Structure 1
Amino acid sequence: MDISKIWLLLVLAFFHMRGNRIFIQDWIAHHTYQKTNEIDSYYLRVANEINDSLSTLWFEEQETNELIHTDALKTLSIYLTCYLEDVIAKTGIFAAFRTIHTELYNQLLPFHADNDLTDYYAEDINSEDVAVLTWLFFSERNPHLFIDPRGRLIQLVTDLAYAILEEHYEVAPENEKLKLEYVLDEGANYFEVRNFIEKLVATNYLTAGEYNTNLNHLMQVAEIGRYQHDQNQLQQMIYRVRDNHFNNYRLHLYALKASEFVAAVIGKEHRLHDIVKTLGNRMNSFFEFVKTDELYVHVKHIGTKTAFKIFKDSIQQFVEPTETLSFYMEIVPWKDAWNLSGIMTVVNAEEINFDLPEQYEMTYRIEALNGKDKSLKKTEKQLKDMGKLFQSEHKAAVAFMEGKEVKEFATDFFKKYQQKYPSKEESPLPESNLDLTEDAQVTVFFNPKTGLEVFGGIAEFFPLKNNKFVEKDDQSEVPYARYFLNLLVEDFFPSELPKYYVNLFKAEVDKQFFFPLNDAVLDFFLRFYKRGTYFLGPFPLLK
């Protein structure tokens, strides 16, 4: 071969190798500190060994092969090396994941029964942990693609990565610096606790990727750049976006809020555990001013008449009103009172509206603080009775019709409900603002949390006697498992729909699915893929 061609190949190989290397700045980007030491250099070598090994992977299926592009494998290699660092330093990140799973399902890990974990030691690294982490990594970054947790991709990555992790486990150094970064002082004040939660969830390998990606997306949506000319307004907007994200965003991990995951990391024995866990439980509602004293601003929730104490020092430049005023306030629990965390603005009587989904949730939560559940039970009973009526009429929780029939169908349903369950209170029928084409094939689903919901394009998923859109003599096999996955991974569908579907066609789905879906695995999937609707409701349909 011509010497110039050999030289060219060597140069290309060098640049390919260099482009595939993980550098110290890549590693340190997954940590809370910037100054590196020899321990970071050690783990960087481990990450590169894993990356070199994983870079040999290749799959015939194009869809799978596209998942393992260079940048993904580099990040995955860092991610799995951070797991090794976590276990050795006992920072408690993966231990928290396992603790939460055990509390929810009485099993150590998803996809693995405890009686199958014969060689599993919680204080050590384990191949089963690596398999779960690998599934989480790919699934979080490809939420509309279901990845078989026991498939070849997960198995091969696990085998290759774990072999290297196991080789280093006995000799890898403990990163004391990292461990100290994830320790919360038991005497920390509100802002120190809040900053600690954000720091941990935004830097640890298990949650940082999705948390930061979503926060950056919200920053773009808010068009933060518009405020560059005014630094005060810019900082206010950045804080506003971060505050909303902190209080509202639910992780793929069990649909938890950041504060709930961090509470599991610091552990129940920590003096601030309960405070940390509830710090993301923001109340957004309408309050009436009562009085002030040396420490607190006293207000009363207008809907439930419940008294609240707000720490005065959490409200900047508060001036005591000289007349009765109502406020819309966003407050979070802190010790034995509340802190303002967001907006506090004066509202007029006509602006106060408790007939909003968000305000129903606030009412339930405030009543629960007082050991009551009257409003919640009333709503649950209404939805339960409606569900019984729907089921008796259609022999299922789904009905099928054309778009032009939906409005009349809903009106008739609510009238039948009012006749069967008469109320002393006058209640107008819900108004429909659906924009449906007349001949659309519509599936009406009775959601036990939110009532009637309308979907197009899924009638074929339900080969039932009451489905006029399905050919009764069609002998072709129904892809139940594929339909279930469609309902599961698409954000558009609420958590209750795939749950209902898999229970309706349990035998058929289990026969076609990768493995039988027990209740624990199904709930884990619902929390992961449906974190936005998993905790939604219940909301009353008739006031």
Structure 2
Amino acid sequence: MEKRKSIYMQRWLSFHFYSTPLQSDYYYLKLCNEIYNMLRDDDFPDEEISISDEQKKNLACFVTGYFEDVISGPGLWKAFITQVSELYGTYLPFFDPDPEEYFPDEINPEDIHFLLWYYLSMVLSDDSIISPLIYEWSDYSNRIFEILEREYETAPENFNLKQLFNVSPEENNFFMIKEKLKWIMLDSWLHHFLGKELEEITDDTFIDDEEKPMPEESRAIYLYDTMDTFVLSRHTPLLARQGKEWLAYALGKDHPLYESLLEMGEKKSGFYLYIGTKGDDLLFEHIATGTRLKVTSRSMDVPTGNEPGRSISFAGFVKWRGEWWFSGSQLGWGYDNDLIRKEQESEKSKMLFGKNPAVQREENRQLYRSFLKFNKGKPLAFIESEEAANSFIRDFLAYHNRSLKKSVRKQRKDRMPLEQDMLPDSIFKEMEPDLVQVETIPGVVFCDPDSGIDLAFGYNDMIPDARNQWYMSTNTEDDPGDGTMILLESPHINGKLMHYLVSNYDLPGLEFPGLSGRELLLDNFDFMLRFWKRKRYYS
């Protein structure tokens, strides 16, 4: 008789923020193995979808983690359905459960339908687009739900998990908050896929490290700072939200820290000149902009050997509840005139602290109004090459500046920051090398009233517009419908542009596999846009 494979405690605890099991963990591990054995014995309903035994083990932990979360909550699942309800007026995408029959504080069969789709979409993201309805016609999720429903009334709470979201209303320690964000973003049952993503990022960074290996200390510093920035800045596939938003919604709107979490600033990493101390604060000046930060001494000590006005640090700082906190790693240099000059000339470094958001919004809207006039009422222009894009943008900026009635002297003195982003040196260095090297690839220039101007190359054959001479209609040998979904998955098409394309064109092939696939995708388009374009949804 074949020996049954099992999930062991180490794997189960890898989805938690502690390493010593509680009594409740033995209960949930047993439940996890029951679900795994059911998954192991059955094939998935679509023969094209196949996951490994390791992935089935993680799926069992994932589903059991959901159950533990609901029993011990409110936690991440309640945070998810609350945000979905705010955005879309329903508790779940795709399934639109009847509010009279859906219980947000309990387990629901629709939850399992959704979670199976989410899990498979994440682990098979490089191979397949999964229809959310694949499990609606099978008894697969129902069998999982029956196991959980059987246990619902007697399942124990996880007191460590409850304590995680029991945060003092007066909590001012950013490091304590960051530890919670780290678990949410890297190891939690709902977002643990991001932990794998971070591993891939760091592995790719050191893939050529064998020839010129980085010193161990430098490597450790880099890895820690990369992790720190990832935790604070990355957006999740679900809803394109950051860790601070997930923690805020897990605590609930009535919690005093709810607004503080949503207002937490972005990490500002750059080169700073150490100025000295003032009371309990350390003073740093951002070299490129002259912005001075008062950094609380609760987050760092004066670096050894630092001299006021003479020592340079590359470091990151986050504003939390009105105070700047050091976050991540720090590298130090002595006074270096060349480094200072390069930073002060760097347009990218100058934008670290940005403009006042209200001022930037108004400038973008002025830009948008000018663009519509310049481009015959359309926010989208089709261009034949990189060179044509440069020419188009230069002509447009000249028109825009004239429309603002700026003098040449004023333009030179108060040059628009956006103009920097539109010149070839800055635009094309951020694009994929293969797109930059082929100057004849046609593209589009798009202007949005909120985010400004963006460019995309290589997708004109998929956009059915009378002005677009490169569109490849369906009566040709190659059906553009076969590739239209590439628009959704491409990192070069931002969220604003994708919204415009779907709202203004009938894009063939824009659908999930199976019956009613197009209607299902379009009805849940914003959710899927956040899912596929989380890194560029807002820009």
Query: TM-score, structure 2 length as denominator?
Result: 0.79
1:284 positional shift: 3.5
1:99 positional shift: 1.9
Q: What CA distance in whole angstroms lies between the structure 1 residues aligned with 2:45 and 2:326?
A: 55
Among candidates 269, 280, 294, match of residue 279 of structure 2: 294
2:176 is aligned to: 192
Q: What CA distance in whole angstroms lies between the structure 1 residues aligned with 2:528 and 2:123?
A: 15
1:344 positional shift: 7.0
1:176 positional shift: 2.5
Query: What are the superposed Cα offsets for residues 400-430 of structure 1, whole Å, 9 maximum, x if unpaired?
Result: 5366755545544445545555533146882
- Kindly indicate whether the alpha-carbon contact (under 8 Å) linking 1:134 and 1:157 is maintained by their aligned counterparts in 2: no
Q: What CA distance in whole angstroms lies between the structure 2 residues aligned with 1:468 and 1:495?
A: 24
Is 2:59 the partner of 1:55? no
- Kindly indicate whether the alpha-carbon contact (under 8 Å) linking 2:444 and 2:460 is maintained by their aligned counterparts in 1: no
| Cα distance, 1:69–1:231 mapped onto 2, change above 3 Å | closer
The alignment partner of 2:519 has SS state of coil
After TM superposition, the structure 1 = structure 2 runs for residues 344-359 of structure 1, keeping only pairs within 5 Å, are 348=337, 349-353=340-344, 356=347, 359=350
1:529 is aligned to: 532
Q: What CA distance in whole angstroms lies between the structure 2 residues aligned with 1:53 and 1:39?
A: 22
Q: What CA distance in whole angstroms lies between the structure 1 residues aligned with 2:401 and 2:216?
A: 56
Q: What CA distance in whole angstroms lies between the structure 2 residues aligned with 1:470 and 1:222?
A: 38
The alignment partner of 1:170 has SS state of coil
**One-letter amino acid of the structure 2 residue matched with residue 282 of structure 1:** K
- Kindly indicate whether the alpha-carbon contact (under 8 Å) linking 2:462 and 2:507 is maintained by their aligned counterparts in 1: no
1:540 is aligned to: none
Query: What are the superposed Cα offsets for residues 319-366 of structure 1, whole Å, 9 maximum, x if unpaired?
Result: 7855588876521113332112244766755233486457546223xx
- Kindly indicate whether the alpha-carbon contact (under 8 Å) linking 2:464 and 2:507 is maintained by their aligned counterparts in 1: no
Among candidates 350, 353, 356, match of residue 362 of structure 1: 353
Q: What CA distance in whole angstroms lies between the structure 2 residues aligned with 1:518 and 1:357?
A: 37
Is 2:138 the partner of 1:135? no
- Kindly indicate whether the alpha-carbon contact (under 8 Å) linking 2:276 and 2:283 is maintained by their aligned counterparts in 1: yes
**One-letter amino acid of the structure 1 residue matched with residue 152 of structure 2:** Y
Moved more, 491-500 or 176-185: 176-185
Is 2:465 the partner of 1:464? yes
Query: What are the superposed Cα offsets for residues 54-80 of structure 1, whole Å, 9 maximum, x if unpaired?
Result: 33543585532x2x3322222111111
Q: What CA distance in whole angstroms lies between the structure 2 residues aligned with 1:27 and 1:473?
A: 50
Among candidates 306, 318, 321, match of residue 332 of structure 1: 318
**One-letter amino acid of the structure 2 residue matched with residue 534 of structure 1:** Y
Q: What CA distance in whole angstroms lies between the structure 2 residues aligned with 1:414 and 1:200?
A: 44
- Kindly indicate whether the alpha-carbon contact (under 8 Å) linking 1:290 and 1:300 is maintained by their aligned counterparts in 2: yes
- Kindly indicate whether the alpha-carbon contact (under 8 Å) linking 1:89 and 1:179 is maintained by their aligned counterparts in 2: yes
Structure 2 segments unaligned to the other structure (5+ residues): 429-434
Among candidates 28, 35, 45, match of residue 30 of structure 2: 45
2:424 is aligned to: 431
- Kindly indicate whether the alpha-carbon contact (under 8 Å) linking 1:390 and 1:446 is maintained by their aligned counterparts in 2: no
**One-letter amino acid of the structure 2 residue matched with residue 36 of structure 1:** P
1:490 is aligned to: 490
1:132 positional shift: 2.0
Q: What CA distance in whole angstroms lies between the structure 2 residues aligned with 1:377 and 1:347?
A: 38
Quote the RMSD (CA, aligned, Å): 3.9
1:5 is aligned to: none
User: Rg larger in 1 or in 2?
Assistant: 1
1:94 positional shift: 0.5
Among candidates 202, 214, 218, match of residue 219 of structure 1: 202
| Cα distance, 1:354–1:276 mapped onto 2, change above 3 Å | farther
1:95 positional shift: 0.7
The alignment partner of 2:444 has SS state of strand
Is 2:344 the partner of 1:341? no
1:222 positional shift: 4.5
Q: What CA distance in whole angstroms lies between the structure 2 residues aligned with 1:489 and 1:156?
A: 30
| Cα distance, 1:159–1:400 mapped onto 2, change above 3 Å | farther
1:213 positional shift: 1.1
Is 2:176 the partner of 1:176? no
- Kindly indicate whether the alpha-carbon contact (under 8 Å) linking 2:276 and 2:309 is maintained by their aligned counterparts in 1: no
- Kindly indicate whether the alpha-carbon contact (under 8 Å) linking 1:84 and 1:125 is maintained by their aligned counterparts in 2: yes
2:431 is aligned to: none
Q: What CA distance in whole angstroms lies between the structure 1 residues aligned with 2:479 and 2:217?
A: 59
| Cα distance, 1:353–1:141 mapped onto 2, change above 3 Å | farther
1:50 positional shift: 2.0
| Cα distance, 1:325–1:380 mapped onto 2, change above 3 Å | farther
1:159 is aligned to: 142
Is 2:238 the partner of 1:253? yes
The alignment partner of 1:533 has SS state of coil
1:454 is aligned to: 456
Q: What CA distance in whole angstroms lies between the structure 2 residues aligned with 1:302 and 1:275?
A: 28
1:34 positional shift: 2.9
1:30 positional shift: 1.9
| Cα distance, 1:377–1:359 mapped onto 2, change above 3 Å | farther
Is 2:256 the partner of 1:263? no
**One-letter amino acid of the structure 1 residue matched with residue 502 of structure 2:** V
Q: What CA distance in whole angstroms lies between the structure 1 residues aligned with 2:37 and 2:386?
A: 55
1:3 is aligned to: none
**One-letter amino acid of the structure 2 residue matched with residue 334 of structure 1:** W
The alignment partner of 2:48 has SS state of helix
- Kindly indicate whether the alpha-carbon contact (under 8 Å) linking 2:185 and 2:231 is maintained by their aligned counterparts in 1: no
1:147 positional shift: 1.7
The alignment partner of 1:454 has SS state of strand
Q: What CA distance in whole angstroms lies between the structure 2 residues aligned with 1:507 and 1:471?
A: 12
- Kindly indicate whether the alpha-carbon contact (under 8 Å) linking 1:143 and 1:529 is maintained by their aligned counterparts in 2: no
| Cα distance, 1:387–1:356 mapped onto 2, change above 3 Å | farther
Is 2:338 the partner of 1:317? no
**One-letter amino acid of the structure 2 residue matched with residue 50 of structure 1:** I
